[in-house]
DNA sequence: ATAGCAAGCAAACACTTGTGCTGTCAAGTG
DNA sequence: CACTTGACAGCACAAGTGTTTGCTTGCTAT
């Protein structure tokens, strides 16, 4: 009796056992692990079937090295200690004139996901973060150019000093500046220190998100 | 000498070696693998340091089982075939005045690895790429600020239009500009169009790499 | 100086583990 | 029926590997 993939029942059991074992222990099983846990009476049977599995490309083995079994496509990926990465949805474009896409309106699950390095922040910092591709040069004063990908965290308030995406209602413009609430007025300070700040009032300003990172690919 | 994380140099090397080994082989290294490849004279030294690494929670070990090392947080990822990120070594700092670290002089294996999203380029584009952290504002005209991480590909020549890290010999300065070879002279054009280009001659210029990406984390 | 201690070294030891054999048995095959 | 082949069993051996013990070394505190 064989299954649909051309493997015997025993081979399939072995294959599944290996996957399970690796998932559980983070290292591959020895032949005798397989033998004992699957109730096979001899190591040679396991070796025999492993050889077949390798010939069929289901696993790959590394010489006489103990536990030198690996499953192609099943790869160890570091996700926690020194560098992990996260995925955030790419929701579209951001330009100077048009408003941001509404994260609520887009099915985040369906959106293209991009991976961002852990250097950009912890899991906590990256919660509710989405990515937008920048079109145009309206944000060069924040060191953001055409084609850059900005990572935004959706929020409607901001602390002083945070870089926010703000919509100026009267001017009908979206801009990206550092936010400072100073008494009655709000100062929007370009990241580029040589440029002048903009002053406005709280009711002329809608914060649409906060910048947590920038990714740029250079040709 | 210890590094910032409280591990000795040797322990850090071992830890990095294990990570690398697992990445490469999909199974953990044996003590003797570590010993030989790191040039350690005795297995007991490796065992000794592994014990410390385990006490510090950097790794976890499984009794006397061969290759029973695993790294907490190094998690199985079944989607590796469609992996969206690459890792590149972080080799240090780049400032306006000082020369770049020599990639040849640094053991790339030992360096901290950071992950970069696939959006920054294909595996091919990211070959020979390393990362440097930018210190200072000498490159704002290339839309690169203090604290940014630049991804450089090591190369000593460049095509017109590419953004390169160039060392001006006479001026004793490192700069980051777009490269244009125009007859007898070379034009180094800041990315920021409002700024003036620099002209120099080929023998006053050493190209040290080419920028392939920028990653910025915003507070 | 001297004792204490972390770190490293070398070799011996013992367990783990992959690999041959050597058979057995059932199902084809000519 | 003799002969092959796939699948499995048992077992012994030889690598592959982790541990242990004893011996330096270099440094620090007493």
Q: What angle do CA B214, A162, A140 make, to 5 degrees?
A: 45
Supply the pLDDT for residue B80. 34
Q: Where would I find the beta strands (DSSP E) of A48-123?
A: 60-61, 69-70, 75-78, 85-94, 112-117
Supply the pLDDT for residue A77. 43
Nearest residue, CB atoms, A27 vs list B27, B121, B212? B27
Sorting pLDDT into bands at 50, 70 and 90, what band is B73? low
Non-local CB neighbours of A40 within 8 Å, separated by 6+ positions: A10, A34, A46
Supply the pLDDT for residue B130. 81
Supply the pLDDT for residue A88. 74
Cβ(B200)–Cβ(B207) below 8 Å: no
Quick one: average pLDDT of B94-108?
Answer: 56
Supply the pLDDT for residue B122. 57
Q: Is the CB of A83 under 7 A from strand C?
A: no
pLDDT tens for B32-67 read 999 998 888 899 999 999 988 888 888 888 878 889
Q: What size, in residues, is chain A?
A: 219
Quick one: average pLDDT of B152-180?
Answer: 83
Cβ(B209)–Cβ(B197) below 8 Å: no
Our measurement of the distance from residue A190's CA atom to the centroid of its chain's CA atoms, rounded to an integer in Å, reads: 28
Q: Can you tell me which residue has its alpha carbon closest to the C1' of nucleotide C10?
A: B42
Quick one: average pLDDT of A69-83?
Answer: 54
Sorting pLDDT into bands at 50, 70 and 90, what band is A81? very low
| Domains delineated in chain B | 9-70 (1.10.10.10), 81-215 (2.10.109.10)
As a whole number of angstroms, the distance between CA A179 and CA B108 comes to 40
Quick one: average pLDDT of A2-20?
Answer: 78
Supply the pLDDT for residue A8. 81
**Contact yes or no for B121 and A66 at CB 8 A:** no
Percentage of chain B beyond pLDDT 70 is 74
DSSP H helices, B38-188, are 43-55
Q: Is the CB of B36 under 7 A from strand C?
A: no
Cβ(A180)–Cβ(A207) below 8 Å: no
Predicted model pTM = 0.56
Pairing type for strands B198-200 and B185-189 reads antiparallel
Percentage of chain B beyond pLDDT 90 is 9
Q: What is the mean pLDDT of chain A?
A: 77
Residue A83: closest C-alpha in chain B: B114
On the question of pLDDT at A164 being above 60, the answer is yes
pLDDT tens for B183-218 read 889 998 876 666 788 899 989 988 888 888 888 887
Supply the pLDDT for residue A35. 92
Supply the pLDDT for residue B2. 46
As a whole number of angstroms, the distance between CA A15 and CA A56 comes to 12
On the question of pLDDT at A105 being above 70, the answer is no
Q: How far is the CA of A43 from the C1' of C17 (A)?
A: 10
As a whole number of angstroms, the distance between CA B23 and CA A66 comes to 17
First vs last C-alpha separation in chain B? 32
On the question of pLDDT at B104 being above 70, the answer is no
Sorting pLDDT into bands at 50, 70 and 90, what band is A121? low
Chain D bases having any atom below 7 Å from a protein CB = 7-12, 15-22
Of the listed ranges A175-189, B110-124, B138-152, the least confidently predicted one is: B110-124
Give the residue from A157, A90, A80, A77 showing the smallest Cα distance to A123.
Answer: A80
Could you tell me which residues are beta bridge partners of residue B185?
Answer: B182
pLDDT tens for B106-141 read 555 555 667 777 666 655 555 678 888 888 776 777
What is the residue whose two structure tokens read 């599944």? A16
DSSP H helices, chain A, are 9-25, 31-37, 43-55
Cβ(B151)–Cβ(A119) below 8 Å: no
Q: How far is the CA of B45 from the C1' of C5 (A)?
A: 16
Tokens (6 digits) for A72: 């192609």
Other CB atoms within a 10 A radius of the CB of residue A62 amount to: 14
Of the listed ranges A2-6, A16-20, B8-12, B86-90, the least confidently predicted one is: A2-6
Of the listed ranges A52-61, A90-99, B72-81, the least confidently predicted one is: B72-81
Per-residue b or e along A75-100, where b marks 16 or more CB atoms closer than 10 Å to that residue's CB? bbbbbebbbbbbbbbbbbebbeeeeb
Quick one: average pLDDT of A23-33?
Answer: 88
């Amino acid at each position: 009796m064989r299954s649909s993939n051309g493997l015997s029942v025993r081979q399939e059991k072995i294959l599944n056992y290996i996957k399970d074992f690796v998932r559980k222990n983070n290292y591959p099983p020895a032949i005798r692990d397989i033998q004992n846990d699957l109730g096979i009476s001899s190591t040679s049977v396991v070796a025999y079937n492993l050889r077949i599995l390798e010939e069929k490309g289901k696993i790959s083995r590394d010489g006489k090295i103990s536990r030198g079994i690996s499953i192609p496509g099943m790869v160890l990926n570091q996700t926690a200690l020194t560098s992990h990465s996260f995925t955030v949805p790419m929701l579209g474009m951001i330009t100077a004139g048009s408003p941001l896409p509404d994260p609520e309106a887009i099915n985040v699950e369906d959106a293209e996901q991009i991976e961002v390095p852990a250097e950009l922040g912890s899991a906590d910092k990256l919660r509710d973060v989405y990515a937008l591709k920048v079109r145009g040069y309206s944000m060069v004063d924040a060191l953001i150019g055409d084609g850059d990908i900005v990572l935004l965290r959706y929020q409607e308030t901001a602390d002083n000093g945070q870089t926010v995406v703000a919509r100026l209602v009267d001017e009908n413009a979206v801009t990206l500046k550092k936010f400072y609430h100073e008494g009655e007025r709000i100062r929007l300070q370009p990241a580029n220190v040589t440029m002048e700040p903009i002053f406005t009032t709280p009711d002329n300003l809608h914060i649409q998100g906060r910048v947590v990172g920038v990714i740029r690919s250079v040709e």
